[in-house]
Structure 1
Amino acid sequence: MAWTAQDWPIGAALIQFPGTTADGASVQDAGPEHWSRIFTEVRNAGFGHVDITDSWLRPGDLDAAGRDELARTITDARLGITAISVVRRSVIDPRVGDDNLAYALRTVEAAAAIGAPVVCLGLHRPLLPKQQAAEWFWTEPGDADPLDDDSAFDLAVERFREVGRAAAANGVDLSLELYEDTFLGTADSSLRLLDSIGLDNVGLNPDVGNIVRLHRPVEPWLEILEKTLPRANYWHVKNYFRAHDPATGAYLSFPAPLELGVVDYRRAIELALAAGFSGPICTEHYGGDGLSVSATNRRYLRDLIATKQEVAR
């Protein structure tokens, strides 16, 4: 679909909202009264769409009545849905991969029930204790995929293909999120995985923010986007300040508004439009008032899209 700058679906991530209420209850069980408060905040920040981030609420673990209540609450808040983003539920996790596969399949069903066009999955795993204790979790190493193990790669292909087929049967797209030290950790590995899956409704989420924040040498963001945007069907956008001290070898990064960080989103949007990208977008930001920064990022994106569409005519 050919979106204009003003109607392009740009949703707010819910990563800044906790999965428990102020009195310690699970958001999962809190029901529409609590959900509507969060959706009202999203709407009042100027968003017309929301990404149902499952660190806040897991649609795949709601029963049919709960899914109906969620869909109704989103509609009542005058919001659309960009996607359900599944966080740290790798389908090849050696401990709980089978459970995560079942959960991914339930999430596809939930997406169809609540009107989410995309389910976003990745291969990143739960944060380790040192990551949880760090001010910024990406400054500590996490679990990694066995990148030289062909059987693990083949398992990822098999399981993503199973979820992708279920998604297609439900009229839903599947998007695979780039993340370090996984089979989705580089542009080439992500494309190899996507080609091996071989389904038209399975694409990439080229979240280069996950890569540029690492405190080590990384693949250049421009090269990643040039390779992956032609295969993208969803896009988490965020940015980081990044610095390197050659004298000590130290790297430093921390979150930045979209227009100020190391990734040039003016160039990125130009590449996306030239590649024919037409998927929903989700704005993310860690730290501080993440929702307000995301709202600023949304306005910046709309201005960029409008300009790039105008000069392309």
Structure 2
Amino acid sequence: MSTPDTRPTSEQWPIAAAMLPFPASQDAPGDAWVDHLAEVAYEGFTEVDLTDSWVRVGDLTPARVDELRDALRVVGLDPVALSAIRRSVIDPVAGDDNLAYSHRTIDAAAALGVRVVSVGLHRPLLPAQREAFWFWTEQGPVDANDVETWDLAVHRLRELGRHAAEVGVALSLEMYEDTLLGSAASAVRLVNDIADDNVGLNPDLGNLFRLHGPVEDFQAAVEACLPVSNYWHVKSYFRDEDREAGTYVALPAPMEMGSVSYRTAIRTAVEAGFTGPFCVEHYGGDGLSVAARNARYLRRMLAVATGEARASVLRAAGGDR
């Protein structure tokens, strides 16, 4: 359990921008990387998540890793985290390759000074998902749920966690629908079965809340997941349900306007002792501007949850309680 002496203040708390809004830039010149990262810094961010849909650091040469480090330095961004997405280590086809890629990514992340690497069990989008306006409205790949698949996930993710610990990086497991990390109960069980203090959960519950079908209660999932979480992708959606008609709709929304209360969720997280970094995400439109808005909102909610807001109001009002 964190205490006021061990957790960051609301202003100190690492809140990273995801690089999701930017195009794939693996082979781009270093100046293009600087251009993209400068946009992030201009929006007020001091931390960034090096999402590998932008640059796959695990596939960079050492010289290009140095080039990326220089780009981060010149714009003043701290690469607090790296998210390796859709590279499941239990993918029936590409699992072995994805495991090797994940190991390379951990080493490159450590060289860049990254503190958390987030991996998941979600796989590449299927053709129907790529063609849809919102990819989550179409069915994606589904993990097998047999003992052999579960044991393989435990073994390989534990292997990655131990490697990460050796190079001073934490490993976080991103929740995603139709995977072994696709519900609060299954995700917490997987973390507990891995049983490595260096491996925690990334409770990206927005991935589940946006589904066009019944979903588990958001706040109950937060209560279950945050005690074993070490990193958190946050985003929100407007959601509407007509269960009798069987219709469900979810559209991306700024965190303060969406259909779940992050005011409540952040308080739950702080009370559970969560001290990990956040990563603000948004799909559609100007995702970076909405992410920046989300970061400002998140700092306010952290101030509320930690008691800083109350203390500030009482000081300003001359109160003595």
Give the shorter-chain TM-score range: over 0.9
- The alignment status of 1:61 with 2:66, answered yes or no, reads no
The residue number in structure 2 matching 1:275 is 272
Q: What's the CA shift for 1:2?
A: 1.7
Secondary structure of residue in 2 paired with 1:67: helix
The residue number in structure 1 matching 2:166 is 169
Secondary structure of residue in 2 paired with 1:153: helix
The residue number in structure 1 matching 2:14 is 9
Aligned counterpart in structure 2 of residue 234 of structure 1, from 209, 231, 234: 231
* Residue range with higher mean Cα deviation, 300-309 or 106-115: 300-309
Q: What's the CA shift for 1:56?
A: 0.6
The residue number in structure 2 matching 1:157 is 154
CA distance in 1 between counterparts of 2:7 and 2:69 reads: 26
Secondary structure of residue in 1 paired with 2:41: helix
CA contact (8 A) 1:11 1:282 kept: yes
Q: What's the CA shift for 1:31?
A: 2.7
CA distance in 1 between counterparts of 2:134 and 2:172 reads: 25
Secondary structure of residue in 2 paired with 1:82: strand
CA contact (8 A) 1:51 1:282 kept: yes
CA contact (8 A) 2:80 2:113 kept: no
The residue number in structure 2 matching 1:42 is 40
Aligned counterpart in structure 2 of residue 109 of structure 1, from 99, 104, 107: 107
> 1:1-313 residue pairs with structure 2 within 5 A?
1-19=6-24, 27-147=25-145, 149-310=146-307
CA distance in 2 between counterparts of 1:3 and 1:81 reads: 17
CA distance in 2 between counterparts of 1:135 and 1:224 reads: 27
Gaps of 5+ in 1: 20-26
Distance change (3 Å), C-alpha of 1:68 and 1:192: same
Q: What's the CA shift for 1:29?
A: 1.5
The superposition leaves residues 114-153 of structure 1 with CA deviations (integer Å, 9 ceiling, x where unpaired) of 0000000000000000000000000000001012x11001
Q: Count residues with an aligned counterpart.
A: 305
CA contact (8 A) 1:238 1:257 kept: yes
CA distance in 2 between counterparts of 1:253 and 1:41 reads: 28
Secondary structure of residue in 2 paired with 1:196: helix
CA contact (8 A) 1:82 1:281 kept: no
CA contact (8 A) 1:225 1:268 kept: yes
Q: What's the CA shift for 1:196?
A: 1.1
CA distance in 2 between counterparts of 1:175 and 1:31 reads: 30
CA distance in 2 between counterparts of 1:207 and 1:85 reads: 12
Q: What's the CA shift for 1:75?
A: 1.2
Q: What's the CA shift for 1:306?
A: 1.2
Secondary structure of residue in 2 paired with 1:119: strand
* TM-score, length of structure 2 as denominator length: 0.93
AA partner of residue 125 (structure 2):
L
Larger Rg: 2
Gaps of 5+ in 2: 1-5, 312-321
AA partner of residue 289 (structure 1):
D
Q: What's the CA shift for 1:88?
A: 0.4
CA contact (8 A) 1:209 1:239 kept: yes
Q: What's the CA shift for 1:246?
A: 3.1
Find runs of 4+ consecutive structure 1 residues off by over 4 angstroms: none
CA distance in 1 between counterparts of 2:192 and 2:216 reads: 21
- What is the percent sequence identity of the aligned residues? 55
* Residue range with higher mean Cα deviation, 65-74 or 286-295: 65-74
Q: What's the CA shift for 1:82?
A: 2.3
The residue number in structure 2 matching 1:23 is none
